[in-house]
Structure 1
Amino acid sequence: MKKPKPVLDLSVDRTLELPMYLQICQRFKIAIEQGHLHAGDRVPAVRALATEMNLARGTVEMAYRILTDEGYLQVRGAAGTIVSPALPQPAASKPLAPIPGQTVSAFLDHDGKAPKPLQLGLPALDAFPRKVWNRLVGHRLRGSEPARLGYPDPAGYARLRERIATYLGVSRGVACLPEQVFITTGLRNTLELTLSSLSTAGDEFWFEDPGYILARPFLQNAAVKVVPVPVDGNGLIVEEGKRLSPYAKFAMVTPSHQSPLGVTLSLERRMALLEWASEAGSWIIEDDYDSEFRYQGRPLPALKSLDRNDRVIYSGTFSKVMFPGLRLAYVVAPVSVVPRFQSVSYNLNAGCPYLFQASVADFIAEGHFSRHLKKMRSLYAERRLVTQQVFQDVLGERLRIDLRPGGLHMLAKLGEHENDVLLADRAREAGLALHPLSRWYVNAKPQQGLLLGFANVVDEKDARRIALKLKQALEIK
């Protein structure tokens, strides 16, 4: 029986401090040592590998240059790049060695598998109108003319950009033209587009502390200097940011529902932040990731709606309001830099798939989007309250859950003598996908707490089942 060829794994871990080009080098070396690649084998072209891994071309080029200098690869011009024929054959198959500095992330939930209870960043997958969605996608699929089989516009499908501009004007108070809207695959792609358009190496970048944990590794690997700015009950402390880095080029904030604390950036702080950006010539990246879900009053206006000097770059996503499998998000560029965004978008990628973009545009145009949001606000308000009450009842005084006005997760605070990382590890061993709050901090003194996603807790019975499982995992007597 023929032995199956080992799988070639060139993936990188974006949560590591180890630069991605060095991770690629290590992956190739391991693949060669394990016999996944043999002397004379052709390796992927730089452009093809960069596209496949969603990395900058320069990152892959640097890795290939190092591997060539060290004798692992050999460049043969038009014939491509191959594994050096001079390399000796591996003596025997060895266990896969870890990349230096790599640890398997215990908190990587986006693995393509079924969602786990309490997982963050997920809307109610059971409540999405799949029949309506399937009909819209099917209609687009059957009616696609041959031209739609080509490459999509890298800036985004025109009709979707128009729908987003209209929606933002009505619901978020953001006045923008469709030409300012660029479609991306998510926040990482939005940051990549923004920094590629506006940053230079060494630019300082205000980052909320604590702040969005999945954005931090990308920024640490980018050519910017991350400046953690502390957050209190009123959001980002602007005066502290000005003290730490008065002329930072960027500030990234989550003003409507701070990630992860859930607080709202006060009006006074919003105005101070806008004034600072105007005077310093800086850019504010507003991540408005789940602002549609507010359970006390109407959704708050976006920071961008207060921007009179065009310094705010507005970022939104369909992952929270529809479903994350779409991989569709958007960014609104200031008018003055639209040409730069346009140019970079054409060099950065080949655009998002037309089928899903067109289907989302139809979903909005036919009124399904607004109806879905209205239904979800009511559903989440109910699930949020049920989850809080049941967890507080089952877990007693060990946890204290103070409900915030909005969002898709809640924060369970712990006592000072608790260890949230240890507790989260126990819970994860039991199959619960909660996060320890302390890991979201950089320099500020970390609070002890657990972050719980409640959107997929379907009812009181489900909440009690999960709470009892958590209680057992935490060994609460």
Structure 2
Amino acid sequence: MSEALIILDPAAEKSLQQQIREKLIQGILSGSIPASHKMPSSRRMAEQLGVARNTVVLAYQQLVDDGFLVTRERSGFYVSDTVSQQGVISHSAGEPQRDEDDRSFWRTHCNAVSVNRRALQARPANWLQYPFPFVSNEYDPRLYPGAEWRECTRDIFTAREVAQWATLGSNEDDRHLVEQICTRLLPRRGIYVEPGQILLTCGVEQACHLLGELLLGDQRKLALVQPAAGETGEIFRRTGAQMLPLAQDADGPLLDQNLQQADCIYLQPNVHNPTAVTCSLERRRLLLKQAREQGAVIIENDCDHDFCYHGNPLPPLKGMDGGGSVIYLYQFPKIIDPGMQLAFVVAPKPVIQRLRALRYTLRERVPALNQRLLAKFVAAGHLDAALFKITQQLKERWTALGEALMYHLPKLNVRRASCGTACWLELPQHMDGAQLQISAEKNGLLLEAVSDGSAVRLGFSAIDADKIEGGVRVLAQLINGELQAEEESLTNMAGRRLSAQDLQKEMPGAVFLGTNTLGESYRIELKPDGTMLGYSRNDVEMDETDTGRWWLDGDQWVRQWRTWSYGRKASFHVVTDGHRIKWFNESGKLIDTAVVANE
């Protein structure tokens, strides 16, 4: 019973001993391994898992020390009865409830929630292993300043430091971090404020939620540029405010009738997401003048100000003449603090006081530990050094993407701002962005279709500079119809059909990434010993795993999962085409395609 619960991954960062221990704890707590159950001997468990016996012995001993297992003289290891007595394991007394009954019950108790389904679609698992990950809002983990964060982490756990940050009140912000923001970050942007004009939030989304609660409502009108990416528009919409769409040109938002009617205006003047439009200096002056004349408040999201690849970034609205009616939002770049996503609001003191009161009611203050850690990181100069290093890397990629687009797609309209981490590509009229996104993924290229499908967004923060041209070449072939995007058969397929000798050479150790017909991303690893490991994730991030076997039957590749595909054996002809691998059934019909991962 317990052996079936354990699937070890030799490539994982966790040790085999730790993986065995965690899997057994999971089985004990879920009831899959019941109380008083006798565990297999360490020798038998080691043979089943293909590990050293000492690895199992040490895992068992740790579970005994933690109270999950007990030893009985001359009998072996047993699951402790006390775990069940303490109420950790919960068993249902009756028959399991039917899924449809459960859905009906909760459907009557939950209010309707309106969210763009595209926002719920998770990127494929292991997206970074795709050959061409042109994803936006993601970063190359190799750029992450891990050593600097470890240094700061050691510092904040000294007794003196703990006494300072651990005693913060339930609605206080770390004064050291606020001081660093006031003296180091904001002056570079031409913004000079006092500590009482700053409020820390858990990301820009929380800041927008607080501002929406404070400034908007049924009788208010909010203007924002369309198309709008992310959750910002939905957050403001839930306040009940009337949403006024703003049009824009190459210089930024137009001063049209919708803007003139607004009580509040949400802007991203530095780099609009997703269209990559940068608001010109003159348009910024006109926006400030218009807002002052009509008595409107401007909410400025100064995104991607740190990454500028050509000249100097334009000043934020908050730092210009007439910026008194501007509320400024800033979020630390994701590559700097991917786990924290800390942001702050700059506004007059009366506004900050009210926002602080609203934040208190939500009980969602940024953890004091994270605040002090970031304060140390900024004070030590690590933020400046990291931003400089990352900007140099991103500039190289920004340049490579521009050159590749001009060479391979010279006739398409491309917008690439001098800041930011993505560009906007308008597609030909006959092409649908959603379909292009699906075809691109099958060819190992990840991108983001936006708006009404007339454009795509290409991010360059997670892809190496030397891979950018190859990815743009694949994209150009898809757009120009040079790559096969329709159904293929074994008779008209593109690529190289693998013989038995090829299969024997190329299949062991291979890793495949793809998306099935249900829209679930999957990862399949073929072990040299003939076993398979499978992992899938659907659009609500429910993970599933399975194991199986694979072998060769002449020139056909055969696989059989334990539970997936009903556990039935299936045989395929295999074809490789660049980064793609294709499976054809015995009648020559294309069954599935995947991407060969970069391990």
**TM-score, with structure 1 as normaliser:** 0.71
Give the SS at the match of 2:390. Answer: helix
- Does residue 1:316 correspond to 2:330, yes or no? yes
Cα separation, 2, equivalents of 1:165 and 1:103: 36
Q: Which has the higher contact order (CA 8 A, sep 6+)?
A: 1
* Matching residue's letter, 2:482: I
Specify whether residues 469 and 313 from structure 1 end up closer, same or farther in structure 2 by C-alpha distance, changes over 3 A only.
same
Is the contact between residue 398 and residue 414 of structure 1 (CA under 8 Å) also seen in structure 2? no
Give the SS at the match of 1:296. Answer: coil
Specify whether residues 91 and 137 from structure 1 end up closer, same or farther in structure 2 by C-alpha distance, changes over 3 A only.
closer
Alignment match, 1:348:
362
Alignment match, 2:384:
370
Question: Bigger CA drift: 122-131 or 466-475?
Answer: 466-475
What's the CA shift string for 1:94-143, capped at 9, x where partnerless?
49869789899355466796554122112443112111112212321344
What's the CA shift string for 1:156-191, capped at 9, x where partnerless?
222111111223433111111121111111121011
Map of 1:137-216 to 2, 5 A cutoff? 137-143=153-159, 144-145=161-162, 148-149=165-166, 153-154=170-171, 156-216=173-233
Question: Bigger CA drift: 113-122 or 177-186?
Answer: 113-122
Alignment match, 2:304:
290
Structure having the larger proportion of residues in strand: 2
* Matching residue's letter, 2:448: H
1:228 positional shift: 0.5
Specify whether residues 349 and 400 from structure 1 end up closer, same or farther in structure 2 by C-alpha distance, changes over 3 A only.
same
* Matching residue's letter, 2:341: R
Cα separation, 2, equivalents of 1:112 and 1:185: 26
Is the contact between residue 109 and residue 119 of structure 1 (CA under 8 Å) also seen in structure 2? no
Cα separation, 1, equivalents of 2:281 and 2:468: 36
Map of 1:209-224 to 2, 5 A cutoff? 209-224=226-241
User: Structure 1: where are the runs of 5+ without partners?
Assistant: 3-87, 440-445
Question: Bigger CA drift: 283-292 or 130-139?
Answer: 130-139
Cα separation, 2, equivalents of 1:200 and 1:217: 14
* Matching residue's letter, 2:146: R
Specify whether residues 213 and 103 from structure 1 end up closer, same or farther in structure 2 by C-alpha distance, changes over 3 A only.
closer
- Does residue 1:305 correspond to 2:319, yes or no? yes
- Does residue 1:92 correspond to 2:105, yes or no? no
1:391 positional shift: 5.2
Cα separation, 2, equivalents of 1:392 and 1:245: 35
Give the SS at the match of 1:246. Answer: helix
* Matching residue's letter, 2:327: I
What's the CA shift string for 1:51-108, capped at 9, x where partnerless?
xxxxxxxxxxxxxxxxxxxxxxxxxxxxxxxxxxxxx998734498697898993554
Is the contact between residue 122 and residue 324 of structure 1 (CA under 8 Å) also seen in structure 2? no
Cα separation, 2, equivalents of 1:449 and 1:367: 39
1:155 positional shift: 5.0
Picking from 429, 450, 454, the partner of 2:456 is: 450
What's the CA shift string for 1:172-214, capped at 9, x where partnerless?
1111112111111112101111122333333100011223343
Alignment match, 2:34:
none
Is the contact between residue 319 and residue 325 of structure 1 (CA under 8 Å) also seen in structure 2? no
Alignment match, 1:254:
268
Cα separation, 1, equivalents of 2:116 and 2:186: 43
Cα separation, 2, equivalents of 1:411 and 1:379: 20
Cα separation, 2, equivalents of 1:227 and 1:345: 27
* Matching residue's letter, 1:258: H
Cα separation, 1, equivalents of 2:278 and 2:100: 52
Cα separation, 2, equivalents of 1:264 and 1:248: 21
Give the SS at the match of 2:293. Answer: helix
Specify whether residues 290 and 309 from structure 1 end up closer, same or farther in structure 2 by C-alpha distance, changes over 3 A only.
closer
Larger Rg: 2
Cα separation, 1, equivalents of 2:320 and 2:169: 33
Give the SS at the match of 2:420. Answer: coil
- Does residue 1:422 correspond to 2:422, yes or no? no
Q: Percent identity?
A: 25
What's the CA shift string for 1:294-352, capped at 9, x where partnerless?
11112221111114362100001013461432221111112442322232222232411
Is the contact between residue 391 and residue 463 of structure 1 (CA under 8 Å) also seen in structure 2? no
Cα separation, 2, equivalents of 1:316 and 1:347: 22
Q: How many pairs were matched up?
A: 380
Alignment match, 1:105:
117
* Matching residue's letter, 1:232: D
Cα separation, 2, equivalents of 1:219 and 1:123: 27
Specify whether residues 155 and 333 from structure 1 end up closer, same or farther in structure 2 by C-alpha distance, changes over 3 A only.
farther
Specify whether residues 390 and 300 from structure 1 end up closer, same or farther in structure 2 by C-alpha distance, changes over 3 A only.
same
Cα separation, 2, equivalents of 1:268 and 1:128: 36
Specify whether residues 194 and 104 from structure 1 end up closer, same or farther in structure 2 by C-alpha distance, changes over 3 A only.
closer
Cα separation, 2, equivalents of 1:392 and 1:249: 41
**TM-score, with structure 2 as normaliser:** 0.57
Cα separation, 1, equivalents of 2:472 and 2:101: 39
Specify whether residues 302 and 245 from structure 1 end up closer, same or farther in structure 2 by C-alpha distance, changes over 3 A only.
closer
Is the contact between residue 157 and residue 358 of structure 1 (CA under 8 Å) also seen in structure 2? yes
Cα separation, 2, equivalents of 1:415 and 1:377: 32
Alignment match, 2:418:
405
Picking from 468, 472, 475, the partner of 1:463 is: 468
* Matching residue's letter, 1:453: G
Cα separation, 2, equivalents of 1:127 and 1:430: 26
1:407 positional shift: 0.9
Give the SS at the match of 2:329. Answer: strand
* Matching residue's letter, 1:387: L
Cα separation, 2, equivalents of 1:397 and 1:364: 42
Specify whether residues 391 and 236 from structure 1 end up closer, same or farther in structure 2 by C-alpha distance, changes over 3 A only.
closer
User: Structure 2: where are the runs of 5+ without partners?
Assistant: 3-93, 484-599
1:284 positional shift: 0.3
CA RMSD of aligned residues (A): 3.2
